[in-house]
Amino acid sequence: MALRVSVIGSGYLGTTHAAGMAEAGWEVLGVDIDEAKVAALARGELPFYEPGLGDLVRKHVAGGRLRFTTSFEECGSFGDVHFLCVGTPQRPGELGADLGQLRFAVESLAPHLRRQCVVVGKSTVPVGTAERLAAMLATTAPADGDVELAWNPEFLREGHAVEDTLRPDRIVIGVQSEIAEKVLRELYVRQLRAGVPLVVTDLPTAELVKVAANAFLATKISFINMMADLCEATGGDVTALADALGRDDRIGERFLHAGLGFGGGCLPKDIRALAARADELGVPHAATLLREVDRINLGRRTRMVQLAVEACGGNILGKRVGVLGTAFKPRSDDVRDSPALNVAAQLQLIGAHVRVYDPVARSTAESQYPTLEYVSSAVEAAADADLLLHLTEWQEFLDLDPCDLDGVVARKYILDGRNALDAERWRVAGWNYRALGRP
Ligand code: UDX
C-alpha cells in the first residue's frame, strides 16, 4: 500500500518527522501556515540548527518525495495519514499547555477530510486532549465515521533528531481501532522489521507516555542536583557520587549529570503542564513532586549566580564575566528556557559586564537578550575577564586548552556549570576551578 503522508507543523518535530517519513519511502507533504518557512524548506533550508537534518530534507526535496505547502485543502486531499506536529508551548502566565495551534490545525484540516484517513497526534499534550480532538473530527469532518484519530508520541532529542527518528528506542501508538493500528504498523514497517519495539495502547496511555518520560528524566536530573547540594554541604563530590550510582544497572548512568540543570523547549514546560493537569485531575501529590523537581532545577541557576558573585569577592558590579555557551545544551541553537542564557542575563542584571560566545546559538540568543555582548570565539569571550563561566558543554569548550588563555584573561578563575571540563587540567594550568556539587 503506497500511503501518502501529510505532516502538519514544520517546526522541529514536524520537519524531522516529515524528512524521516520520506526517508522511509513515503510520499510526504509538509504543511505550515508560515509562508516564509514553507518557502525556505522547499529550497531545502532549515529554519533552525540540527546536525544532519538539512541534508535529509534536501535529499528528499530534490528527489521529489518531500514537498511543503501552506494549503490545508491540498493537505486534506493528499494524505491517507495526517500527522499533527504543531507546538504546545506553556501558556503565558500559567503552567498549563497552550493548545491553540493544535485546535487551529484540526479546525483547518477537518473540513477537507472527505475520504477515509487517519489523523495521528504527535504533539505533546495534556492527557485527555486526544479524546476531545476525536470528538471535534467526528462532528466537523465530512468523512466523519471514516476519520480515525490515533496518538503516536515522539521522543526525539534536539541535536540527535535524525538518528532518534530513523532508529527510535521504541514506537508507541495509541489507537481506537485495528484500522489505525494497521496503517501505523505499515508506516513504521522498516523500523519494526529492524527490531524496534512497538507498544500498542489506548489514547490516554499514549498521551501520558510522553509526559511521563520527560517527567522521569527531569526528576532524575533534579535528583542528582539535589545530591549536588548535599555534596556541597558536606564536602562530597557529586561527579564521583553519580559515577558510583550509575554503575547500578537499576539506576543507570544517563541523565545523572549534575550541573546547571535542564532547560529547552520540552522538559520544563512538560513537567509544568503535567503538574497543572494533575491538579485538574485531582491528583495533587503528582503536582507536588513535579513542582519540587522544577524548583530544584531553577535553583541551580540562582546557585550559579551566587557562586559567580562569591568568586568575585562578594561584589560582581563592574566585573568582566566571560560566558562559554548560551544554548540549552550542545548540538543545538535552541535557547528556550536555557539555563546558560538565563545565568548570563542574571549576571548582567546585577551589574557584571557579560561577554558571551556560543558556536551556533548566537542569533537565537541575541534575539532574546540583545543587550549582552556577543563575540565570535571563546578567546574573545575570555578577553580581560575576571571570571570565566562554562555553561553549555560544547565539545569545543571541552577541547579548550587552558594554556591558550594565558595572558588573555585578567584572572584565572573558572566556574564549570556543567561539571564537564577536566578540573585537573585547568588547575595544573594555574586556574582556580570550581563547579557545582564539588569541593
Ligand atoms: C527531551 C527528551 O530527552 C526527549 O526524549 C523529548 O522528545 C524532548 O525533550 P531535549 O529537550 O532535546 O529532549 O533535551 P535533553 O537531551 O533531554 O536534555 C534536556 C536538558 O537536560 C538539557 O538542558 C541538558 O543540558 C539537561 N541535562 C541532561 C542535564 O542537566 N543533566 C543530564 O544528565 C542530562
Kindly report, residue by residue over 22-33, the tens digit of the pLDDT: 999 999 999 999
The residue among 97, 203, 80, 213 whose CA lies nearest residue 151 is 203
Give the residue, by CA position, lying nearest to ligand 1 atom 14.
157
Mean pLDDT of 68-87: 98
Q: What is the pLDDT of residue 237?
A: 98
Kindly report, residue by residue over 177-210, the tens digit of the pLDDT: 999 999 999 999 999 999 999 999 999 999 999 9
For the cut 80, the answer to whether the pLDDT of residue 1 exceeds it is no
Q: What angle do CA 159, 160, 164 make, to 5 degrees?
A: 150
Q: How far apart are CA 200 and CA 171, in angstroms?
A: 8
Q: How far apart are CA 218 and CA 271, in angstroms?
A: 8
Give the residue, by CA position, lying nearest to ligand 1 atom 30.
261
Residues near 212 by Cβ (< 8 Å), separated by ≥ 6?
A: none
Q: What is the pLDDT of residue 145?
A: 81
Kindly report, residue by residue over 136-158, the tens digit of the pLDDT: 999 999 987 899 999 999 999 99
| Ligand 1 pocket, residue 155 CB under 6 Å | yes
Helix 53-63 to helix 35-42 angle (10° resolution) is 80
**Domains in the chain and their CATH numbers?**
4-203 (3.40.50.720), 215-435 (3.40.50.720)
| Ligand 1 pocket, residue 263 CB under 6 Å | yes
179 is written with which cell numbers? Answer: 484500522
**Cα(406) to centroid of ligand 1, in Å?**
34
End-to-end Cα, the chain, rounded Å: 62
Q: How far apart are CA 77 and CA 256, in angstroms?
A: 47
